[in-house]
């Protein structure tokens, strides 16, 4: 009796955690750069009531499977789903998205740890720095050269806050042309 109650309660507690994770995913459905999570479960213990037996060739009797009872479960992990989210078109020229793997590097001021985000809803502050919605500077490598394969950034140089008004390495600002879309798929329904 107590074993069945413990198993049931442990299952309810684990599924409550799953519901909390789902609720958090729903609450952040419109948060820019949010990555949803999923919950996985594991069995705590299992009790073996009888072990397996092999077939007996002399008597012609088949083998038997083991009999086990699960003694509860708990949360194994809460994993962040790092797949690409949906991209939404905006009218802001400073809104960016990342195709494929990678993150934007951000930092509060010139001190503190570098942080990583995929949220690309940026603005420009009074000094010309590209900043996140919460005011963190966006960092990158500023030294670049134009080579045979386009712009080549020197990743051996230290990271610097991306400033749209000044460029200490190249003494001018260049606009890097966007790569146009070359292929699109259009679908829809037509009235009869």
User: In angstroms, rounded to a whole number, what is the distance separating the alpha carbons of residues 117 and 138?
Assistant: 10
Q: In the prediction, which pLDDT does 176 show?
A: 57
At a CB cut-off of 8 Å and minimum separation 6, what does 123 contact? 92, 94, 130, 131, 133
Within a domain: 189: no
Please tell me the distance from the alpha carbon of residue 140 to that of residue 157, in angstroms, as a whole number: 10
Instruction: Assess whether pLDDT exceeds 80 at residue 165.
Output: no
Within a domain: 191? no
Looking at the predicted structure, is the pLDDT value of residue 171 above 60? no
Same domain, 119 and 92: yes
Phi, psi (degrees; rounded to nearest 5) at 25: -60, -45
Report the distance separating Cα 132 and Cα 117, nearest Å: 10
| 38, 66: one domain | yes
Is residue 181 assigned to a domain? Answer: no
Q: How confident is the model at residue 61 (pLDDT cuts 50, 70, 90)?
A: confident
Domain boundary among 59, 80, 101: 80
pLDDT of residue 105: 92
- Same structural domain, 61 and 97: no
Q: Which domain holds residue 40?
A: 2-80
Domain tally, the chain:
2
Q: Do 164 and 100 reside in the same domain of the chain?
A: yes
Confidence band, pLDDT 50/70/90 cuts, at residue 81: confident
Answer whether 115's CB lies under 8 Å from 139's CB.
Answer: no
Closest-CA residue to 131 (of 112, 171, 104): 104
Residue 147 host element (H or E): strand 144-147
Q: Is residue 108 part of a domain?
A: yes
């Amino acid at each position: 009796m107590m074993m069945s109650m413990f198993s049931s309660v442990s299952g309810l507690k684990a599924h409550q955690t799953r519901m909390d994770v789902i609720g958090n995913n729903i609450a952040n459905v419109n948060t820019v750069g949010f990555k949803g999570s999923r919950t996985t479960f594991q069995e705590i213990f299992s009790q073996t009531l009888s072990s397996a037996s092999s077939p007996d060739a002399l008597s012609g009797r088949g083998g038997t499977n083991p009999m086990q009872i699960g003694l509860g479960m708990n949360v194994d992990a809460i994993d962040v789903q790092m797949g690409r989210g949906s991209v939404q078109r905006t009218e802001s020229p400073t809104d960016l998205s990342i195709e494929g793997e990678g993150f934007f590097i951000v930092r509060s001021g010139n001190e503190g740890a570098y942080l990583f985000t995929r949220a690309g809803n940026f603005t420009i502050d009074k000094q010309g720095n590209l900043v996140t919605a919460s005011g963190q500077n966006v960092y990158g490598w500023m030294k670049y050269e134009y080579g045979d394969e386009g712009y080549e950034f020197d990743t051996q140089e230290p990271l610097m806050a991306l400033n749209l008004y000044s460029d200490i390495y190249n003494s001018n600002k260049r606009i890097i042309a966007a790569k146009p879309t070359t292929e699109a798929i259009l679908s829809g329904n037509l009235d009869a």
